[in-house]
Amino acid sequence: MASLLGSIAVVLLLLRLAISQTDALTPRIEALLEARIGVPVTIERLSLTLARNDLLLRLDGLKAETPEGQALFSLDHAGLRLDFWATLANLAPIFNDARISGTEFHLYEGIGGVWQWPEPAELPSLIAPEPDVDLATLDDWVGLILRQRLWVHDTRMVLHGSENTVMLHAQTLLLTGDERRTRLQGAINIAESLQQAREIPLPAAEIKLEMQPGRRGFSDFSAALQLDIQLDQLVVLADMFRPDHVAYLEQAGGRARLWGRWGDARLEEARISVDVPQLTLRHDVQYAVLRDIEANGLWQRDGDGGKAWLSGDAQSVEWAQPVGVSDGPALPRHWSASHQPGRWEVRTSAFELASLTAWRDYVFLPESVTRVLQTLSPRGQVQGLHVGQRDGQWGVDAAITGVEVSPWQKAPGGGPLDAWVQARNLRGRVLFSSDGDSTLYFPDVFAAPMQLRHAEGEVEWVYDGPRAMVSGKRLKVDWDGAQVTGGFGLVTGQQRGHFGLDIDFSDVDALERPLAQWLPLGVMEEGLRSYLLNDIGGYVSAGSLRLSQPIGQLSTGADFTATLALAINQGHMPIAPGWPRLEDVEGRLKWQNKVLDAEIDHAQSHGVTASLGEVKMEDEVLDLSGKLHADGQALTAFLQAMPDIDLSQLDDLSVTGEVNGDIALSLPLQVPEALQLEINAHPRFSEIVYQPLDLRVQAVEGDLTWLQDGENQGLMGDASGQLLGGGVSADIDTRHDRIELQGNVASAALFDLAGLDDSQGRLPLEGQLQWQGLVSLLPTPTVRLESRLVGITSHLPEPFAKSAQQPWPWVINADIDARRVESRLADVAFARAQQRDGAVAGTLRLGSDAASVPEWPSQAGFTITADVPRIDPLAWQEALAPLFAGEGSSLSSGNSQIPIAVSLATPCVVYQGECLGNISAAGSINNGLADLEVSGNIVTGHLVYNEASSHPLDIAVESIALDRLLALANVEHDADTPPPGSWWEEVETQRDSPVAIPDWLAGVPDGRLRLADIAMGERRFGPLTAYWIADGERFSLTPVGLTMGQLSARGELHWEGSSLSSHTRADISIQGGDVGTALERLDQPVVMRSRSTDVVASLDWPGAPWQLDLSQSDGYIRTDIRDGRFVTLESAPVRLIGLLNFDNILRRLRLDFSDVTGQGTAFDRVHGTADVAGGLLTLRGPLQIDAPAATLKLTGDVDLVNRELDQRLGVILPVTQSLPIAAIAVGAPIVGGALFLADQLFGDAFDRATTLHYRVRGPWTSPQVTLEGPQ
């Protein structure tokens, strides 16, 4: 004990001696500090004193700065009281009273974001940028600090960033307590200046800590810590310490609270609670906004390590999601971690993989994962993630659903798939599968992503510095129904790499989809790629693809190898660009060493069958060859489908037969105009029909060759056949601008084309003709046909009559490009036509006009001009009758779209060898409107047809020579159209069968007829006006009006019936003055004169209007004629009327009236009504003739069938001086004698009147008149 006390005394003595030398030690302390930090350090005052057992240290004005004046640290005042005995007990400095004020510490941001002091100053190792700190060291320091009794005032840390300066300011930090517990509390503000820091009401961080010594004192202390942080003030500080690759903290709010608990001088547990209303992060132009964040975390010690759990969520997360990202959480909601010496690991719940890809730079992951995230940009849903290290070796495991990746270099991309990912340091592996729709995309191999129904396989990768190796194994996919198996490999480096693909596939259904989507178009030449994209398809039962491709700057095309082999059936492929494709292809396709070779066992195109074919593509030159066979219909369809040749006119052909041949084609794809083509054909057609004309060519044979070499092309060969019963042959050489034609044909065959034959009579042309033709192609296509028509007899009237041996040159010239046709027939006809602006313009000249050559017509339409010396209508009718006879032979005008102008002139219209007169006509037809002017000494008038009018046909005749036309009308007609009999002869009671309504009546348009002047020799009458309406069962003239002299006829006529029979109904009224003027106009004997005439007739008879027969008619006739006279009794009209033959009756009466003179018998009135029915004409009452000398009353009827009369005639005679009894006696002696005696007996009484009754019977040409007695 004595020695111990002695030792202590010595130590205290030495300590006191050292304290007394403090002033001398100050420079040495400054030098020591300068040596440690590298810059001068100054101390204004340093003093040490000993108070009892405590050592008192006082330090003022400590300061250090660089030679450039940059401050490093400073201390205004520090007073420390060292507990000597506690220090010795703990072997560590223990201050029971430490007061420090005015401390300021500076840090400067250096290159790479490292915080340091400016050179030459060096930071102490304890505050170096990356100090080595572990939990044990941390526990030791916490234990040491908590043993002190510390009061710190006005402490500042100034951070000098590259762009701004931030100050951390602690106004007061207090560490107090006693032997039972120690408390630490304080607050820190963050601001840009000291004044701003002192004005902040709420500190950025506030700390509270309480420590209790253990059983062994402070060596096994326990403590509790609470740290409250206001996150909004941390934004500036976070930006100060943010590395370049870390996102910007744009906005933060809320608070965080941290709890810590120590036991046995070790940190046992830590908790954290975070409540943030909004947190905004920015990376480049991408923002992530998290709102209403709540998180709670727990860390617990586990042996030498620990375990941690973190749960949190944000009410909403807004960030720039890639397209197709799922709706899963952007961040994991649950985290767990553990660590032990030498290892650690972290596990998470589900989150969106795209967010990890987007923020990969801020996550601590191995290179094998970060490089995948960077290159493949994966997307999907991470169901669980495990990441950690053991002994410095990385390990990552993840279960991912719906993952999609982008292609990288030659490695494929695709998705969505389900995958299990394992990564170890620089190596990784993925096992994937998918039972739903997904894609797999080799961008540099296939043109489009593979559309998969099922996929499974394995992908491994290894990173070795700049080199990367990726391999796909055991791949098995269902690609649009095709089964594909195999694998791929990829090696990349700085300058050289390699890609390989080895797959087999089967059941490829490319019938409705192009086969190209299964082909490696990305590694094929442009020409071959374009060809394969041109609609190639089929069913591939088996196939394979072997591909080896170097990549990188040092790779060459010579190192590339590929082999594609396909077995195809039901296939289709193009012959050449623009050509029809081959169908039903069966064969094999192989692509090797950049050469495409297809062997075709069978194929067809539009019915043309190909066999023994081969398609080869090398150096972008397509070669095709094969045998061909087709029937006529298939050949026509194929020819129409050929490019650059318009063969639409083949639609009009019907070909029966077959053709054999072969084809050879060579096409440079880059120079398609250099096409070389040879097609050899050997047709054997039984018949070729030109359907619009039903024109048939039989027994067609030949040998034809189509040659094409670039723009030089043509058809060569010969062909022959039978056309219209005659032979036709062609010698073809279009390459030398020559197609020669020749043949013979019968005229009857030409008429047969128009549906005409000689069954109805002799045809206008008869005989056999020889013809020749020449088709020239240059400079423009032209056709010339010619014949002398020797052997052809023309039965047409002059000047178109011709004998069989008489040559009649006929030439046709056609210019196809100019669309012009010219034809000349001897010197009797010439025609020209051309197409201009889509319309036809033509002219035809006949007769003497044909001698001159007209200009090419320019106006749309057709002009026909005829000037002939004579026209014999009957001869033309006879010659052309067979053309219009029979069913369907009537000409229908239709609505021609081609305007037609007609001009006809002849000085002589011939009838029965005599010239009736001249006539000229000019008119036009256009769009349903016809207009014709006719002039001549036979007829002059105007005809207009307008189909839009209610009466389309309007005929206006200024004058007509009716007597000449009536002569034409007497020409014998056929039985269907019997002409009417002479209306001016006596009635003939012929009983012809009623005419049926003809079929052509339905085609007669409604119209109007106006005759201004009708000539009958020297007589003239008219005008005549009539309207008619016609349909299939009725023809009506209503109204009709005719003026003859002083008489006007008005009424209507209806002809009705069916195809079996018909009847006519007429209602006519004749009114006017002198009936004799009408007879004069008709050039008939004037049998009667009158002052007024009123005749009404209503008749109905069977048959046509011209079949009028009173004996078969029904109706009535009413007559009222006044103040006239019978001029003569020998007249046809008297007999025609049939009511009273005055000539015979009065001749038999032998009456002689004194007032009958050479001017005829006068009358005051003739009136009466008669009914016509059953072949009888019956007077309703007497027909009365009032004359000055007598009154005649006629009753009874007339038998119109037997032409007999059965009537009674009453003659009322006044016995006056003008009618002597003697005169009567002469005529009737007995009556006359009786009258004489009566006159003598009664005198004047008998002078009033006497009636004589006669019976009239017998034929009306010679009736028997007997006197029945007087009255």
* Residue 204 reports pLDDT greater than 60: yes
Of 722, 679, 715, give the one whose Cα is nearest residue 700: 722
* Residue 1147 reports pLDDT greater than 60: no
* Residue 315 reports pLDDT greater than 80: no
Out of 327-331, 1044-1048, 1061-1065, 1086-1090, least confident range = 327-331
For residues 1152, 1156, 1157, 1160, the Cα torsion angle rounded to the nearest 10 degrees is: -120
- Cβ neighbours for 109, distance < 8 A, ≥ 6 positions apart: 115, 159, 160, 161, 162, 240
Out of 109-113, 515-519, 715-719, 1012-1016, least confident range = 1012-1016
Q: Is the dihedral of CA 798, 802, 806, 812 positive or negative?
A: positive
* Residue 169 reports pLDDT greater than 60: yes
* Residue 323 reports pLDDT greater than 80: no
Strands (E), 579-675: 581-592, 595-605, 608-618, 621-631, 653-668
CA gyration radius for the chain? 66
Out of 50-59, 444-453, 1116-1125, 1225-1234, least confident range = 1225-1234
Q: Taking a C-beta distance cutoff of 8 angstroms, is the pair 214, 264 a contact?
A: yes
| Encoded tokens for 307 | 């375990």
Decide: helix, strand or coil at residue 126. Answer: helix
> What mean pLDDT do residues 243-266 have?
79
Of 82, 85, 116, give the one whose Cα is nearest residue 99: 82
Count how many Cα atoms sit within 13 Å of the Cα of residue 1251 in the half-sphere of its side chain. 9
DSSP 8-class letter at 938 = S
pLDDT digits (tens, 9 = 90+) for 769-823: 898 998 887 788 888 989 988 888 888 888 888 888 889 899 999 888 888 899 9
Decide: helix, strand or coil at residue 40. Answer: coil
Q: Taking a C-beta distance cutoff of 8 angstroms, is the pair 590, 584 a contact?
A: no
Average pLDDT, whole number, for the chain?
79
Of 643, 664, 670, give the one whose Cα is nearest residue 709: 664
Q: Taking a C-beta distance cutoff of 8 angstroms, is the pair 955, 1007 a contact?
A: yes
**What pTM did the predictor assign?**
0.50
Residue type, 67: P
Q: Taking a C-beta distance cutoff of 8 angstroms, is the pair 921, 932 a contact?
A: yes
Q: How open is the CA angle 211-215-216, to the nearest 5 degrees?
A: 90
Question: If 0-12 CB within 10 Å is exposed, 13-18 middle and 19+ buried, where does residue 519 land?
Answer: buried
| Encoded tokens for 1076 | 């004799």
- Cβ neighbours for 88, distance < 8 A, ≥ 6 positions apart: none
Of 957, 931, 934, 926, give the one whose Cα is nearest residue 945: 931
* Integer Cα distance of 733 and 719 in angstroms: 12
Q: Which residues pair with 152 in a beta bridge?
A: 100, 173
> What mean pLDDT do residues 563-584 have?
83
pLDDT of residue 217: 65
* Integer Cα distance of 843 and 828 in angstroms: 14
Specify the pairing of strand 1250-1259 against strand 792-795. Answer: unpaired
Of 1068, 1056, 1167, 1165, give the one whose Cα is nearest residue 1103: 1056
> What mean pLDDT do residues 847-859 have?
82
| Encoded tokens for 1211 | 């003659």
* Residue 1129 reports pLDDT greater than 50: no
Of 1043, 1008, 1006, 1037, give the one whose Cα is nearest residue 1024: 1043
pLDDT of residue 307: 93
> What mean pLDDT do residues 107-116 have?
82
pLDDT of residue 306: 92
Distances from the Cα of 47 to the Cαs of 16, 63, 80, 88, 148, in angstroms?
12, 16, 11, 22, 21
More confident residue, 1133 or 363: 363
Please report, rounded to a whole number, the percentage of residues in the chain having pLDDT higher than 90: 8
- Cβ neighbours for 1242, distance < 8 A, ≥ 6 positions apart: none
Of 1171, 1225, 1175, give the one whose Cα is nearest residue 1200: 1175
pLDDT digits (tens, 9 = 90+) for 72-107: 889 889 888 877 777 776 667 777 778 889 899 999
* Integer Cα distance of 673 and 662 in angstroms: 22
Cis peptide before 120 (omega within 30 of 0): yes
pLDDT digits (tens, 9 = 90+) for 1217-1262: 434 444 444 444 434 444 444 444 434 444 445 678 888 888 877 7
* Integer Cα distance of 115 and 374 in angstroms: 30
Decide: helix, strand or coil at residue 750. Answer: helix
Residue type, 289: V
Q: At 139, is the pLDDT very low, low, confident or very high (cuts 50, 70, 90)?
A: low
Cis peptide before 1039 (omega within 30 of 0): yes
* Residue 314 reports pLDDT greater than 80: no
More confident residue, 377 or 325: 377
| Encoded tokens for 414 | 């695709």
- Cβ neighbours for 940, distance < 8 A, ≥ 6 positions apart: 934, 957, 958, 959, 960
Q: Taking a C-beta distance cutoff of 8 angstroms, is the pair 746, 724 a contact?
A: yes
Residue with tokens 């007087």: 1270
| Encoded tokens for 522 | 């990305």
- 1081-1108 burial by CB neighbour count: b if 16+ within 10 A, else e? bbebbbbbbbebbebbbbbbbbbbbbbb
- 618-648 burial by CB neighbour count: b if 16+ within 10 A, else e? eebebebbbebbbbbebbbbbbbbbeeeeee
Question: If 0-12 CB within 10 Å is exposed, 13-18 middle and 19+ buried, where does residue 1220 land?
Answer: middle
pLDDT digits (tens, 9 = 90+) for 675-723: 888 889 899 988 888 787 677 888 889 898 988 888 788 888 898 998 8
More confident residue, 920 or 50: 920
